[in-house]
Each structure stands twice: as C-alpha cells, then as structure tokens.
Amino acid sequence: MQFPGAHAVHDPAGPQAAMLDGLGNLLYGVATVVFVLVVGALLAAALRRRRPDEDPEDPARERRITLVVAGAVGATVAVLLIALVGSYAAGRELAARPAGEALQIRVTGYQWWWAVEYRDSVPQNWATAANEIHVPVGRPVVLELRSNDVIHSLWLPNLGVKRDLIPGEATSIRFQADSAGVYRGECAEFCGHQHAKMALLVVAEPPDRFAAWLARQRDTARTPVDSAARRGQEVFLTSTCVMCHAVQGTPAGSRFGPDLTHLAGRRTIAAGTQPNTRGNQAGWIMDPQRIKPGVRMPPNALAPNDLQALLAYLESLE
C-alpha cells in the first residue's frame, strides 16, 4: 500500500530538520573528500616505483616523509574540528528555546499506536486524537513524550524529530513545520511484534485551518441522526468496543485503546496500517489479528446487520 505522507530525511520541512540535513550534508561532503584523498594516496604509494639510484638514508627524503605525515595529522585534526563545531552548533540550535509561544502536545506510545493529547488550562478544551498529529505551520511545537508500556521512539524524518519514549519518564522535543503538508512518522525502536505497524501522520496546516480542526476535536461526538448510525451507536455501546475505546459524549470512556470521538476525520486506521475506508474498517473490526497479529484488539464476530450499522456509526464520527 502507498502510505500517505512525505517520508524523507533529505526533504526538510522546518528549521530543525533543515539544520540536521545541513549537518548531514557537511559530514557527507567532508567524508567524501577524505575518502578520495586517502584512496588517491594509497594508489600513489602502491603504484610508485623506487628509482635505482634512490638512497633510503637520504636526510632530504626523511624530511619530506616527516612533512607529509605531519600534514596528514594536521588535516585529520582539522576535519575532526569541523565535525565537532558543526555538530555542536546544530545541537545548540536544536536545544534553543522557541521564539514564539510553543504549542504543547502530549504524545504517548502504546503497543502499537500513538495517543495524541492537546491539553489546556481549561479542562473542557482538552482534545484527544490518535495516530495523527495536527500542527499549525510556522509555530514552534513542543512534543511531550511518554510511554505507557515499553520503549518506543518517535521519528518524523521530514521534521527533524527523533526521540525515545521511555516508560516512567517524560521527555520532550521541539520542532516547527514551515511548509504545509502531510508527513509520515513511525516508531523507530523495536517495541514488540507489531513495531513495524506503529506509524502516524503529522498534518501541518495553515493556522486558521488548524484552529478549526482543534475546535472540532474538542467537541463531543455528534448524536447520530440517521437510523443506521443510531442503531450502530447501540451496537457500539452494548458490545465489547466500550471495554477499550472512548467516544466523548457517550458513556464509552475507556482509555485502553485509541479515542474514537473523531475517527472518521483520520486518514488511516490501526496506526497507519491501512487507509481509513469503510471496507478496511469492516475487515479490521471483524478480525484485527489477521491484519496486525498480536494487537490488543480481539476479533468481533458481529452479525452482518450489526456490522453495517456500526460502520455507519463510525463514519458519522467526524
């Protein structure tokens, strides 16, 4: 499947990513020059023939060799200094406090999905999403990273973000997206059976669109109006779904699995495993173990009518 979202270290979408990309290019450049010089010197030494009249004890020759070795040592020290200064400058820039007011987002790793929380001093303004982080373009973002179980690592290649999520310890990392777009990220630390299916998307959008998105996320779920969706809500609330999932505005409030309040607005399901389509939803609900073996979600043998009603309800959760 073609996964939505850009996914390239060398296509930076923000200042931190550009800084890291620049440092990478500097190191590749220096390493290439060193490689060419070393191979050149090696070939020159291997192909050189000693002249018959050459005197191994000649003091001028000795001086020349000393000069070459001293020059090589000096060049090595210079190269290491360039790398040191470059990486120090990049590290300083990455750790610097953001200029504007940063947007705080809490991201928690679970086996194998990501909880995304937008907290606020007013608890009614909290919003919870999953596997999709929306950010406004041009504003610094601080991700507060936690893990619920084992060590995960959040990696957003286009945004210069890579940081471990450690159980019992909050870490943080900041970034800024300067170009609007959808960027793919994933878990970069082996965390069990379905580590490879622990992806997420970062959606960077203009500030007004982001504000509209966040306002919608803060809303509780709409009460379904059409009869199929209403029936689906009944199925949802009376089946095992409520053991793990929350839909704000209904009695379903479990935090064991992803919050589904605005599921229909997400681009993918099962932490970036499949596009969010009705057919994929159906397959996932019936037998998630076939798609993501080992996932905590159990199979759900729903009657066909109940399944269709449930799908209509999930589609209404915008």
Of 8-16, 46-54, 183-191, 209-217, which part binds ligand CUA (CB under 6 A)? Answer: 183-191
Count CB atoms within 10 A of the CB of residue 83.
15
Q: Tell me: does residue 235 bind ligand CUA (CB under 6 A).
A: no
Report strand pairing: 171-175 vs 132-136: unpaired
Length of the chain: 318
Among 191, 221, 263, 302, binds ligand CUA (CB under 6 A): 191
Q: Tell me: does residue 198 bind ligand CUA (CB under 6 A).
A: yes
| Closer Cβ to ligand CUA, 198 or 302, answer by number | 198
| Closer Cβ to ligand CUA, 88 or 190, answer by number | 190
Closest distance to ligand CUA from the beta carbon of 127 (Å): 23
Closest CA to 143 of 178, 110, 118: 118
Q: Tell me: does residue 187 bind ligand CUA (CB under 6 A).
A: yes
Query: What contacts 217, CB < 8 A, 6 or more positions away?
Result: 118, 127, 128, 129, 261, 262
Query: Assign residue 162 a region: left if phi > 0, alpha if psi is -120 to 50, beta otherwise?
Result: beta
Q: Tell me: does residue 152 bind ligand CUA (CB under 6 A).
A: yes
| Closer Cβ to ligand CUA, 112 or 313, answer by number | 112
Q: Tell me: does residue 195 bind ligand CUA (CB under 6 A).
A: yes
Query: What contacts 301, CB < 8 A, 6 or more positions away?
Result: 286
Closest distance to ligand CUA from the beta carbon of 308 (Å): 33
Q: Tell me: does residue 162 bind ligand CUA (CB under 6 A).
A: no
| Closer Cβ to ligand CUA, 198 or 260, answer by number | 198
Among 14, 109, 160, 257, binds ligand CUA (CB under 6 A): 109
- Furthest-apart CA pair in the chain: how many Å? 103
SS3 238: helix
Backbone angles phi, psi at 176, to 5 degrees: -145, 135
Among 28, 35, 190, 256, binds ligand CUA (CB under 6 A): 190
Residue with tokens 């360039």: 82
Please give the size of the binding site for ligand CUA, defined by CB under 6 A. 9
Q: Tell me: does residue 156 bind ligand CUA (CB under 6 A).
A: no
Closest distance to ligand CUA from the beta carbon of 110 (Å): 8
Closest distance to ligand CUA from the beta carbon of 111 (Å): 7
How distant, in Å, are the alpha carbons of 23, 89, 220 from that of 84? 11, 9, 51
Query: x/- string (CB under 6 A) for ligand CUA, residues 246-275?
Result: ------------------------------
CA 204 – CA 210 distance, rounded (Å): 8
Query: Assign residue 117 a region: left if phi > 0, alpha if psi is -120 to 50, beta otherwise?
Result: beta
- Binding site residues, ligand CUA, CB under 6 A: 109, 112, 152, 187, 189-191, 195, 198
